[in-house]
A and B are shown apart, each in its own frame.
Chain A
């Protein structure tokens, strides 16, 4: 587990650039294994990241030309093109993973980077009758995904990259029936069943124009986290044949969706641990507070005065977490999964 964090820190990106475009900020970064991350930071603080594996120059130019800010990001994309070209000319084409989907799903938790995840997911999806996929980690403000506003989404892109570009640029996530479904459901569902009232929903039509004909959506939740995982797998085979092929594998898709959500949670926790450097005892205190303990409980438990708890321990915790009050620290730690 520790190794994973170290790993992500160690791999310096091949290229990184940040551009401000009016009120927004776009950050492009290319990893050593040619995985491109485009992070859009909206002026209200919400962020949208697309994680795309660049296998060929075509992938890159599809992604770049679909970018609404292409005219502003041209320079960055040119640099990325050069870096990718050099990286691809130098060595082997990307290894195509193969193998038993069940085994591969089991290996997801061992992936060190999102790039590694992407390549494993691709192999799994291909083995389970899917042609395209997206996986999104959606973070809501507040612990209840049914009511909160979206504050962060990360998309693992396993479909035409132009789709996610358009999806984010046009705010389609605000209208996406599958996201609405995922907020309150955990069961896998065929996309045609999610849309019973509006079979011809324009977003479905748009998606079909990107090759999403039949599909299955598989949400995953973790209690107490405002974090939802949503796997969307599709193929270009018309229903019912296309749907049957996917539905038969729903249990495996469900396992995969949960694994991916867990991966993210542990990633966030690792990063938070490294960032806040809370001690075992401090974490324990936060846990007690979350469960309703008062300062006197804490003092009793630790065999020290209430004064010490307030003046020393609480202050140390708030300083480390950058919170203003101890209740904020509890919330923050809980949101990062440090108290599970």
Chain B
């Protein structure tokens, strides 16, 4: 009676036994309406009831509430879910009608099933044995099989390679036991061929017994993504010109290799630098240069064989990684093979080119050294090899020894010591007399000496080249000039007649040291006429930039004399073009006269040309009587050296 009344009441009000319900987040009024149409009834819920409904999420579920409707108490089964940000809705049935409740649930379920079918990823549900329980539309399309065909069949047999499937079986067995979700990548055979899928697998339990646990595998196709990533990695690690690995790869690879303590003693590097590539490249044009590099890469590959990795580090530098037992010996052997291989010419369009390489070999000996350390050492060894091959046009290799690092350190130490040399004013000038061959004094030659504390003094060309390479050439030059001018002024004030002082100018001072400014300032400060100074400029003047020669000419025009130094290995300069007042023949050439005919002829020639052109000649290093006796044939020449000083100083009045 009561039930009938209720059913009638529902039918009359909602035209159905399962009206729609909805609840908003800010009100506890449960609104009920026909399937379509406006709200026609409202049930007031307690806040606990409302909260219970609001716990519903996106998954369709049911909640039972007791509520007052039409001034009666009803037990309502609400089936529904959260439908948007602040509303929950679904269908409601009075408890008296089991059929309506079942219908509501079925609708919710079919919605979920539809979602499963239509979702745009692969979904397969398996039981513990791998027997397929569900197979969604995406899976059907991929496999070309319908769900009906595959249900009950084994997924691994159907879709996986033997290898993958056994691994997969074990995997799943393990996870079944623990019931944890996991991710895995698997290649799946599809009608489009094998594709790589990333699976997120989760266990779902439908009952209490273990065989009611299922595995939901949902996968997305990452084949293209992975392919793109692999391609990028490949690109980032490859030298496009030669196809070899590049520097980026080398650093990663070394970091990886030396990470383990076992790598010490089982890893060695060859650092190969092509000595003359730059020159060939400049003369050939870059296209041919590229060709040549490709050939070098190919030939290195052939020599090194399959098991060693070759890397092009930069322009004309290559590295070969040698790993394995006795890596050091393998590397040395390989270095010798490479040197041998470079003996064979390279041929480009019927022209042959002889490439020369310098190879540094280094072994990874100590765990804890970084890739950077290793490469630095390989580089040092390579430079040592370069020094071996220099000037001999040969390829050479050199094995790293700690001594090479020490030598590099010494450069730094020397730089620092040199600083203190300047700070403590450890530099001093030595003066030696110059004479004409008949014994007339012709001024002084000043040379700088560095009196180092507790170390033998350093002087001459050795000092000059070390000072210049440490970057103190300009300062040394300025010291010489100031000191020489000061000394000359002092001597003259004391009544000693010194015609002039001759000094060697460091190359740096000549090129970018404002030599002219310094000279004129020194002369002005010490009240001296320009002819009191004679400057010897070193190095190849004809290769010096035009503006430097112009500056030299400016100095010369003030009256300061400029002499160009000739050494044994310098080419004979074009005297017509140079702004000089004379030449200076150094001790190396003079040391070979009068015994050696070629040097004799050379000196004769130089002096002859100079006297023709009215240039002065200063001959250094006249240390023996024979040398001097031979030189007396040149009345215009000036001489300086141990013998001359001893012979004339007693009779001289210059000091």
Contacts and interface: CB of A to CB of B under 8 A. Distances in A.
Contacts of A71: 408, 412
Contacts of A205: 512, 514
Given A200-B516, A200-B517, A205-B514, A171 B422 contact: yes
Interface in B472-504: 472, 474-475, 478
B518 interface: yes
B521 A197 contact: yes
A21 interface: yes
A22 B409 CA distance: 10
A276 interface: no
Given A171-B423, A175-B475, A175-B478, A201 B412 contact: no
Nearest to B478: A175
A21 B475 contact: no
B516 to A, nearest CB: 7
A44 B426 CA distance: 14
B420 A23 contact: yes
A72 B413 CA distance: 12
A254 B518 CA distance: 31
B416 interface: yes
B423 A69 contact: no
Which secondary structure characterizes the binding site on chain A? loop
B513 A22 contact: no
Interface in A169-205: 169-171, 174-175, 197-202, 205
B419 interface: yes
B416 A202 contact: no
B635 interface: no
Contacts of B518: 198
Nearest to B408: A71
A106 interface: no
A240 B471 CA distance: 32
Interface string B405-425: 000100011011101101110
A336 B413 CA distance: 35
Given A21-B416, A22-B412, A198 B514 contact: yes
A202 B513 contact: yes
A19 B521 CA distance: 41
A170 B472 contact: yes
Interface residues of B, number: 26
A71 B380 CA distance: 14
A269 to B, nearest CB: 30
A85 interface: no
A248 B46 CA distance: 82
B154 to A, nearest CB: 52
A202 B512 contact: yes
B514 A22 contact: no
B514 A44 contact: no
Contacts of B416: 21-24
Contacts of A175: 475, 478
A313 B424 CA distance: 41
A174 B422 contact: yes
B514 A21 contact: no
A21 B513 contact: no
Nearest to A69: B412
Contacts of B420: 23, 43-44
A198 B514 CA distance: 8
B474 A202 contact: yes
Interface in A16-50: 21-24, 42-44
A138 B513 CA distance: 26
A44 B420 CA distance: 9
A202 B415 contact: no
B413 A22 contact: yes
Interface in B557-592: none
A199 to B, nearest CB: 7
A68 interface: yes
Nearest to A44: B423
Contacts of A72: 412
Contacts of B417: 22
Contact of B521 (A69, A171, A174, A198): A198
Interface string B374-416: 0000000000000000000000000000000000100011011
A23 B454 CA distance: 15
A68 B415 contact: yes
Contacts of B472: 170-171
A170 B472 CA distance: 7
Contacts of B514: 198, 200-202, 205
B523 to A, nearest CB: 11
Contacts of A68: 412, 415
B548 to A, nearest CB: 13
Contacts of B415: 68
A323 B509 CA distance: 47
Nearest to B470: A170
A21 B416 CA distance: 9
A202 B477 CA distance: 12
Contacts of A202: 474, 509, 512-514, 517
Contacts of A24: 416
Nearest to A195: B517
B521 to A, nearest CB: 6
Contacts of A170: 471-472, 475
A171 B419 contact: yes
Nearest to B376: A71
Nearest to A197: B521
Contacts of B524: 197
A205 B520 CA distance: 17
Nearest to B416: A22
Interface string A92-103: 000000000000
Contacts of A198: 514, 517-518, 521
A175 B413 CA distance: 23
A202 B517 CA distance: 9
A72 B412 CA distance: 10
Nearest to A43: B420
Nearest to A71: B412
A72 B478 CA distance: 31
A318 to B, nearest CB: 32
A152 to B, nearest CB: 15
A47 to B, nearest CB: 13
A24 B412 CA distance: 12
Contacts of B413: 22
B423 A201 contact: no
Interface in B175-212: none
A200 B517 CA distance: 7
A42 B419 CA distance: 10
A201 B475 contact: no
Contacts of A199: 517
Interface in A76-104: none
A23 B414 CA distance: 11
A82 to B, nearest CB: 15
A263 B548 CA distance: 46
Nearest to A206: B512
Contacts of B478: 175
A202 B519 CA distance: 13
A169 B471 CA distance: 10
Interface string B33-62: 000000000000000000000000000000
A45 B516 CA distance: 35
Contacts of A201: 514, 517
Nearest to B524: A197
Nearest to A172: B475
27 contacts: A21-B412, A21-B416, A22-B413, A22-B417, A24-B416, A42-B423, A43-B420, A44-B423, A68-B415, A71-B412, A170-B471, A170-B475, A171-B419, A171-B422, A171-B423, A171-B475, A174-B423, A174-B475, A197-B521, A198-B517, A199-B517, A200-B517, A202-B512, A202-B514, A202-B517, A205-B512, A205-B514
The 3 closest A-B CB pairs, nearest first, are A198-B517, A202-B514, A200-B514
Given A22-B417, A68-B415, 16 more contacts: A21-B416, A42-B423, A68-B412, A69-B412, A71-B408, A71-B412, A171-B472, A171-B475, A197-B520, A197-B521, A197-B524, A200-B514, A202-B474, A202-B509, A202-B513, A202-B514
